[in-house]
Amino acid sequence: MQATIIGHLRKNPGLTRAEIGEALEIPKMTVANGLEKLMEVGLIIADPPRDVAVRGQRVRYTVDDARVTEMVMRLEQVLGES
């Protein structure tokens, strides 16, 4: 699910949780949990950041392309595909 979220946000940056869930036809809580895990590892960026967002404010999400690319490259090295 997290890879699906990353893929969708790479093509459609700046979406809210609701917009992601609607587009991917997955429950909002599933999206929220996936985004939380992706933010913890630095692959997704929230705007505004969650520590400054006020309750009810729309938070928009984008992919940190540099971090995702780095992770893919490391994975390819580990798997011996590069």
Question: Does residue 20 surpass a pLDDT of 80?
Answer: yes
**Is 50 a residue whose pLDDT tops 80?**
no
Tell me how far apart the alpha carbons of residues 81 and 62 are, in angstroms, rounded to a whole number: 27
Pseudo-torsion of CA 27, 9, 17, 53, nearest 10°?
A: 150
Using the predicted structure, report yes or no on whether residue 64 has a pLDDT greater than 80.
Answer: yes
Q: Please state the pTM of the whole predicted model.
A: 0.85
What per-residue confidence (pLDDT) applies to 49? 87
Provide the pLDDT for residue 82: 56
